[in-house]
């Protein structure tokens, strides 16, 4: 019966090709959306990792070192730096801002950290900023060393480039000295968003809260949470559409082949074999759509203005979910096929 | 494998809420190796009987024994096995799978019986050669003539060498040249112990048969004069499902026309009063009565044969009769008293 199922697919190849392509486009969109959501997390993770900070100390009540930070004066910095297990501690500043590039203005993430860290990433070109008028920028800003950028009313000289450093949906990161960032963000007041620590902190000082890298990544992703949730909902809806396409194609196939199924039953073919043949069609459609969908997603990903980073597990889960969804969606068709009355084989055409 | 014995077979189903019995107390005994032809018009129960023989339809009551197998007592799984191993079916509409080649169609029962692909292929090639289609193995049904398709269907039916072949109107969609090919093949099948049961209304097949079973006993059309029948209240004139050759006109009293319901009981269809007529379609089309006629009060009816009724109605009367329009019966004819 498996041969008969495959022959039927050849026989109705146009319909199955259309079904495969339609489902593949949906799978590709699902992969791209998954890649987008994962891209947000991946760039946030990359940014936090690049800072080289193991623990962020924030004031009690603050929800993170970035978006959820509460500015405070780093009066305890020296004491914290001298704590056991702490290799280095630095005052860090973070804020969202806009950068003017000629006639264009772009949103950007501003990070302030000492020249030698912690909090200053490794540069692919140039050197870290050493004074308040210098900055290192992400390569995605498309600017070179020696050029100037304007942030608020301040003109800064680019002295270094950080490779592909972005956060918050592909916004370029700009790194300044702590003082430079304080001048931009806090009007020159000696405030910080967090104290970045390399090493471990045995005991958190009273009035502070320690946040690890995962917590910092979650904080950086907080503004995108609604967007990620929306993407997830759309992805689920796309799964439903994909299941409906596979299910309706298999159901139509079952309806058109009722006479065939009745004949199979009448000549003694076991019902299980008939169902297996139809299920095979659902599996073949779903898996073919996965293959085409993966190729399409690779073509569609670069079109998006944000980072599409499809996680490896998605390529493993996609075919599994596709097959399971395909079989569930084909349930109606399968039921129709196995419940057909073999007496239907009798009578005229 | 053995003889076929059918005892008191009843098949009843519901149609529009009414009980329909295409087979009612049917009996048949046939020796192994026979070619049996079930003859009768459409709707007389030929296909129903084939379905029961083929293990596709479970009868309401009665017994079918083929050799040692009591077909009517098999469960669903055993029936599927019985259909696969004991019965080969040739369908009216060929019923080949359009996406499969002739060879693959014949391979279907072989593969489902667990025969390896290679062995099934070899066997299917032999079978197609046997029905003279060795050069059409890779053709799809759409590329074959009706006769060739039916021969592929025959090859498929005999693929597992079943001892019983049932064929439903195997010549219905064939021209006379194709009919000849298929008839020869069907006759050849009924050899040794293998029994072939063919349902048809095609009388060209009759000379092939070892046994002809008329599912609706025919009656010779007669042209005897109208006869008067006197009924007492409650007396049944004729019963649903029986054959009869008379159309009745009520002279006096009332006659109830009743139809049996699927769940038991009867439904009153209408009451024939003096001047009304009933029971016309059965005799006209040689079909069983579709209702029971019972006197509601003491009544007198006149029974006409179809020929006598036609004579009385004149030109165009039959059309009115079929549509059960009120008829101008004119003067009552002279009638004979019932025997």
Q: Do B56 and A12 touch (CB under 8 A)?
A: no
Q: A5 to chain B: nearest residue by CA?
A: B99
Mean pLDDT within A82-106: 90
* Domains annotated on chain B, with CATH: 4-214 (3.40.50.300), 227-322 (2.60.120.10)
Q: What is the 3-state secondary structure (H, E, C) of B106-119?
A: HHHHHHHCCCCHHH
**H/E segment holding residue B82:** helix B76-85
Express each pLDDT in B188-237 by its tens digit. Answer: 888 788 899 998 887 777 888 888 988 876 555 567 788 899 999 999 99
The pLDDT tens digits of the residues spanning B92-127 come to 888 899 999 999 999 999 998 889 999 999 999 999
Q: Is the pTM of this model over 0.95?
A: no
Burial per residue of B177-216, b for 16 or more beta-carbon CB atoms within 10 angstroms, e otherwise:
ebbebbbebbbebbeeebbbbbbbebeebeebbeebbebb
Interchain contact, A259 vs B95, CB within 8 Å: yes
Residue B338 has pLDDT above 50, yes or no: no
Q: Which of A159-173, A298-312, A332-346, B94-108 has the lowest mean pLDDT?
A: A332-346
The arithmetic mean of pLDDT across residues B59-87, rounded, is 89
Give B77 to chain A, closest Cα distance, Å.
9
Checking if the pLDDT of A320 tops 80, the result is yes
For B259-294, write each residue's pLDDT tens digit. Answer: 888 777 888 898 999 988 898 888 887 778 888 999
A122-151 residue pLDDT tens: 999 999 999 999 999 999 999 999 999 999
Q: What is the predicted pLDDT for the residue at A212? A: 95
| Contacts for B131 with CB less than 8 Å, ≥ 6 apart | B151, B152, B154, B155, B185
* Shortest CA gap A334–chain B (Å): 18
SS3 B215: coil
Please report residues of B whose CB lies closer than 8 A to that of A347. 47, 92-93, 168
pLDDT at B177 over 90: no
* A202-242 pLDDT tens trace: 889 999 999 999 999 999 999 998 988 898 899 888 888 88
Which tens digit of pLDDT belongs to each residue from B119-176?
999 999 999 998 888 899 999 999 998 888 988 998 999 898 899 999 888 887 777 7
User: Residue B65, SS3?
Assistant: strand
Q: Do A345 and B89 touch (CB under 8 A)?
A: yes
Query: Cβ contact (<8 Å) for B95 and A343?
Result: no
For A10-33, what is the mean pLDDT? 90
All residues of chain B having their beta carbon less than 8 Å from the beta carbon of residue A8 are: 97, 99
SS (H, E, C) chain A: CHHHHHHHHHHCHHHHHHHHHHHHHHHHHHHHHHHHHHHHHHHHHHHHHHHCCCEEEEECCCCCCCCCCCCECCCCHHHHHCCCCEEEEEEEEEEEEEEEECCEEEEEEEEECCCCCCCCCCCCEECCCCCCCEEEEEHHHCCCCCCEEEECCEEEEEEEEECCCEECCCEEEEEECHHHHHHHHCCCCCCECEEEEEECCCCCCCCEEEECHHHHHHHHHHHHHHHHHHHHHHHHHHHHHHHHHHHHHHHHHHHHCHHHHHHHHHCCCCHHHHHHHHHHHHHHHHHHHHHHHHHHHHHHHHHCCCCCCCCHHHHHHHHHHHHHHHHHHCHHHHHHHHCCCHHHHCCCC
Compute the distance between CA of residue B40 and CA of residue B215 in angstroms, rounded to an integer. Answer: 6
> Does the model's ipTM exceed the 0.95 cut?
no
Q: Does B173 touch chain A (CB under 8 A)?
A: yes
Shortest distance between the Cα of A242 and any Cα of chain B, in A, equals 26
Nearest-Cα residue of chain B relative to residue A261: B97
Q: Which of B95, B97, B99 is opposite residue A10, by nearest beta carbon?
A: B99
Q: How high is the pLDDT of residue A247?
A: 84
B84 burial level (CB within 10 Å; 0-12, 13-18, 19+):
buried
Contact between A264 and B108 using a beta-carbon 8 Å cutoff? yes
Q: What is the pLDDT of residues A181-212, one digit of tens each?
A: 999 999 999 999 999 999 998 889 999 999 99
CB contact under 8 A, A269 and B100: no
Using a CB–CB cutoff of 8 Å, tell me whether A7 touches chain B.
yes
Yes or no, beta carbons of B112 and A347 under 8 Å apart: no
Residue-range domain boundaries for chain A: 2-43+226-345, 55-211
**Closest approach of A342 to chain B, Cα-based (Å):** 6
Report the gap between the CA of A275 and the closest CA in chain B (Å). Answer: 13
Which residues of B fall within a CB distance of 8 Å from A348?
Answer: 92-93, 172-173
Which residues of B are less than 8 Å from A260 in CB distance? 97-98
Q: Which residues face B304 on adjacent strands?
A: B247
d(CA A327, CA A282): 6
Asked if B80 and A270 come within 8 Å (Cβ–Cβ), the reply is yes
pLDDT score of B339: 44
- Residue B7 is predicted with a pLDDT of 92
Q: Which residue of B has its CA nearest to A263?
A: B95
For residue A222 the two structure tokens come to 């907080």
Q: Given an 8 Å threshold on Cβ–Cβ distance, is B97 in contact with A260?
A: yes
Cβ–Cβ contact A1 with B under 8 A? yes
Note whether B104 contacts A343, CB cutoff 8 Å: no
Residues of chain B in contact with residue A280, where contact means CB-CB under 8 angstroms, are none
Nearest to A348 among B83, B87, B92 (CB): B92
A269 contact B CB<8A: yes
- Spatial strand order of the sheet with B87-90 comes to B87-90, B164-168, B195-200, B35-39, B211-214
| Mean pLDDT rounded to a whole number for chain B | 84
With b for 16 or more beta-carbon neighbours within 10 A and e for fewer, the B301-322 pattern comes to: bbbbbbebbbebbeeebeeebe
Scanning A10-49 for CB atoms below 8 A from B yields 10-12
Say how many CB pairs under 8 Å bridge A and B: 89
Judged by CB atoms closer than 8 Å, whether chains meet at A268 and B83 is answered as yes
B156: nearest CA in chain A? Answer: A267
- Smallest CA–CA separation between B180 and chain A, in Å? 20
A276 and B CB contact within 8 Å? no
- Across the interface, whether the CB atoms of B108 and A265 are under 8 A apart is answered no
Query: Looking at the predicted structure, is the pLDDT value of residue B318 above 70?
Result: no
Task: State the average pLDDT over residues B14-35.
Answer: 84
B108 in contact with A, Cβ within 8 Å: yes
Residue B181 has pLDDT above 80, yes or no: no
Distances (CA, A) of A69 to A195, A216, B160, B184: 11, 10, 81, 95
> Among all chains, which residue has been given the structure tokens 């390399």?
A198
At B282 the pLDDT is 82
């Amino acid at each position: 019966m498996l041969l008969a199922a495959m022959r039927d697919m050849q026989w109705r190849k146009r319909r199955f090709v259309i079904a495969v392509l339609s489902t593949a486009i949906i799978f590709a969109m699902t992969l791209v959306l998954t890649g987008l959501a994962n891209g947000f997390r991946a760039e946030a993770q990359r940014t936090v990792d690049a800072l080289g900070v193991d623990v962020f100390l924030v004031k009690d009540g603050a929800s993170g070192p970035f978006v959820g930070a509460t500015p405070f004066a780093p009066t305890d910095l020296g004491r914290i730096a001298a704590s056991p297990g702490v290799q280095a501690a630095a005052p860090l500043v973070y804020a969202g801002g806009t950068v003017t590039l000629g006639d264009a203005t772009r949103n950007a993430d501003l990070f302030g950290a000492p020249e030698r860290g912690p909090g200053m990433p490794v540069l692919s070109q140039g050197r870290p900023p050493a004074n308040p008028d210098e900055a290192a920028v992400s390569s995605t800003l498309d600017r070179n060393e020696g050029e100037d950028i304007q942030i608020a009313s301040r003109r800064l000289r680019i002295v270094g480039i950080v490779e592909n450093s972005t956060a918050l949906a592909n916004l370029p990161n700009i790194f300044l000295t702590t003082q430079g960032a304080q001048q931009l963000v806090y009007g020159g007041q000696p405030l910080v968003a967090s104290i970045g620590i390399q090493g471990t902190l045995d005991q958190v000082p009273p009035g502070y809260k320690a946040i690890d890298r995962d917590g910092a990544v979650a904080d950086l992703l907080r503004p995108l949470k609604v967007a990620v949730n929306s993407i997830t909902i759309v992805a689920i809806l796309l799964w439903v559409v994909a299941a409906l396409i596979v299910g309706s194609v298999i159901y139509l196939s079952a309806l058109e082949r009722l006479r065939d199924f009745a004949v199979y039953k009448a000549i003694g073919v076991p019902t299980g074999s008939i169902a297996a043949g139809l299920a095979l069609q659902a599996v073949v459609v779903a898996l073919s759509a996965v293959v085409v969908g993966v190729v399409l997603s690779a073509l569609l990903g670069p079109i998006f203005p944000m980072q599409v980073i499809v996680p490896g597990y998605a390529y493993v889960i996609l075919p599994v979910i596709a097959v399971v969804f395909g079989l569930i969606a084909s349930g109606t068709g399968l039921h129709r096929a196995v419940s057909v009355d073999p007496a239907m084989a009798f009578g005229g055409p | 494998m053995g003889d076929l014995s059918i005892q008191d077979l009843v098949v009843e189903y519901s149609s529009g809420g009414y009980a329909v019995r295409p087979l009612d107390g049917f009996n048949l005994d046939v020796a192994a190796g026979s070619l049996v032809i079930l003859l009768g018009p459409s709707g007389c129960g030929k296909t129903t009987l084939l379905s029961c023989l083929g293990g596709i339809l479970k009868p309401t009551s009665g017994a079918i024994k083929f050799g040692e197998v009591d077909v009517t007592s098999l469960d669903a799984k055993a029936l599927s096995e019985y259909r696969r191993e004991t019965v080969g079916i040739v369908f009216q509409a060929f019923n080949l799978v359009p996406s499969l080649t002739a060879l693959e169609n014949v391979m279907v029962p072989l593969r489902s019986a667990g025969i390896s692909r290679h062995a099934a292929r070899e066997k299917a090639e032999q079978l197609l050669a046997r029905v003279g289609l060795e050069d059409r193995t890779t053709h799809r049904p759409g590329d074959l003539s009706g006769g060739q398709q039916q021969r592929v269907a025959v090859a498929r039916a005999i693929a597992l060498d079943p001892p019983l072949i049932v064929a439903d109107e195997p010549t219905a969609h064939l021209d006379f040249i194709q009919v000849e090919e298929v008839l020869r093949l069907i006759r050849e099948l009924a050899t040794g112990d293998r029994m072939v049961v063919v349902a048809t209304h095609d009388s060209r097949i009759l000379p092939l048969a070892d046994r002809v079973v008329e599912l609706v006993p025919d009656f010779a059309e007669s042209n005897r004069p109208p006869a008067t029948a006197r009924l007492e209240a409650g007396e049944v004139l004729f019963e649903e499902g029986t054959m009869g050759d008379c159309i009745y006109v009520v002279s006096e009293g009332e006659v109830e026309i009743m139809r049996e319901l699927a769940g038991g009981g009867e439904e009153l269809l209408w009451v024939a009063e003096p001047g009304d007529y009933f029971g016309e379609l059965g005799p006209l089309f040689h079909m069983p009565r579709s209702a029971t006629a019972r006197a509601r009060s003491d009544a007198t009816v006149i029974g006409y044969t179809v020929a006598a009724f036609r004579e009385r109605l004149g030109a165009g009367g039959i059309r009115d009769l079929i549509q059960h329009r009120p008829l101008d019966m004119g003067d009552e004819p002279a009638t004979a008293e019932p025997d």
